[in-house]
Amino acid sequence: MNTKLIMTLSACFMYSIGILLTFAPDLILDYLNLEPNQITLFLFQIIGALYFGFGMLNWMNKGRPIGGIYNRPVATANLSHFMIAGLALLKGLFSSANLPLEIWALEIIYTGFGIAFGIILFRHPIPEKSFD
């Protein structure tokens, strides 16, 4: 499995969410038909900072070997995040099937990353081929 690609894609995904939640929480709340107040704006910005920081972690580790015993904390943190959020989204979709298409798309993305990081965590990294 190409861990550099997975780490890069997950970093970009988290950067995107982080930037949106940090700099445009009012627009997201309006889109979700939620009442923007000071507390929800602060919470969305804090969550945005968490996503951005997690994206930074993945971006900084994209070129390092990940899997097995290598960078295990990074792989475990990603697996935990994507699987817990994916299961929460799945629970929400099962309880209310008329949720917007964006929630379905997030569920697919989160499940895909969760499976990928599960494979990364429990498999020894494949060494890169050298053409020397």
pLDDT tens digits along 58-101: 999 998 888 777 888 999 999 999 999 999 999 999 998 788 88
pLDDT tens digits along 21-66: 999 999 999 988 888 899 999 999 999 999 999 999 999 999 888 8
Q: How far is residue 44 from each of residues 1, 18, 88, measured CA to CA in Å?
A: 33, 9, 18
Please list the alpha-helical segments (H only) found in the chain: 3-23, 25-31, 38-60, 72-95, 101-122
Contact between 41 and 29 (Cβ < 8 Å): yes
Structure pTM?
0.85
Long-range contacts of 86-93 (CB under 8 A, 24+ apart): 86/110, 86/111, 86/113, 86/114
Per-residue DSSP letter, 33? T
Helix (H), strand (E), coil (C) string for 65-77: CCECCECHHHHHH
**3-state secondary structure (DSSP) of residue 123:** coil
